[in-house]
Chain A
Amino acid sequence: MSAPRERTFVLDTNVAIHAFLPDDLVPDNLRAVRDAGRRFIARAVEVAASLIVPHRFYSEAIAAMQPLIYQERLSVQEAKAVLASVFALRPRTRRPDWNDVVDITVAMGRSSTGDSEFVAVARAEHCEVVTSDRPFWDAVRQRKIPVPVVLVTDHRLAQP
């Protein structure tokens, strides 16, 4: 039997990467988002919440480090240290139903499927997607996609 819905979340990659980004890399305008992500993740670990991701979470996290490596702002080993910290969250992976991915991508008016995979997993798990990507959050609301996507800055997430 799956965990109760209120303790199960699909974790968007940007929340995890932001939370474990070295402090000196976080610009002032994103500090509140980073701090909210840290509060959410710390609380989720504390209450043993179930964090679920599509498989692409891992490739996205690694790819998110590449600009920093190419710009020589993080060494390869530093980027690996960040990724090791992210992956120690050990989110459970779930393959999204491809039918759902097609439907959600079309409904969102997108050409890419990245966001849709997270939404499709949340749909299958009957839980929310937690994201720090406001345009993604806006798109789901505007397109009336019947899956809850919540911004990590939502104060309700402080106590999952």
Chain B
Amino acid sequence: MTRAATIKKPAEIDATDPAAVREPGVDAPERPMRPYRTRAEVERAFRAVDAIRPHGPDSYDPIEAIRKLRDE
């Protein structure tokens, strides 16, 4: 089974069920991360998100996403 096939669509997710939005292998925080206090901490966070391996074409531009939101 491909990884994509295991992902539920947002409409299928029961937000009240923590297990429904949790996947194995993703180191997501159980509670809010504490504020960064050092450069090393924030650089560690950069490396942690880089370890996430998204799927699909790499064309996403958050600038465009936010611009569309602001223009709505």
Contacts and interface: CB of A to CB of B under 8 A. Distances in A.
Interface string B31-72: 011111111011101101111111110111111011101111
Given A21-B49, A87-B32, A115-B70, A14 B43 contact: no
Interface string A85-99: 101111000000000
B46 to A, nearest CB: 6
Interface stretch (A23-31, A121-129, A142-150): A23-31
Contact of A64 (B9, B13, B28, B69): B69
B69 A30 contact: no
22 contacts: A13-B66, A17-B62, A46-B38, A60-B66, A67-B65, A68-B60, A70-B9, A72-B56, A73-B55, A74-B52, A77-B26, A81-B26, A81-B48, A88-B35, A88-B45, A111-B71, A112-B70, A112-B71, A114-B70, A133-B67, A135-B67, A136-B67
A43 interface: yes
A140 B54 CA distance: 35
Chain B interface mostly: loop
A81 B49 contact: yes
Given A77-B21, A81-B26, A14 B63 contact: yes
Contacts of A114: 66, 69-71
Given A70-B10, A73-B60, 18 more contacts: A18-B62, A21-B60, A21-B62, A22-B49, A24-B58, A27-B60, A33-B63, A42-B43, A45-B38, A60-B69, A64-B62, A74-B54, A77-B23, A77-B26, A78-B26, A80-B28, A85-B33, A85-B48
Contacts of A14: 62-63, 66
A26 B53 CA distance: 11
Interface of A: 13-14, 17-27, 30, 33, 38, 41-43, 45-46, 60, 63-64, 67-78, 80-82, 84-85, 87-90, 111-115, 132-133, 135-136
Interface of B: 4, 7-10, 13, 21-23, 26-29, 32-39, 41-43, 45-46, 48-56, 58-63, 65-67, 69-72
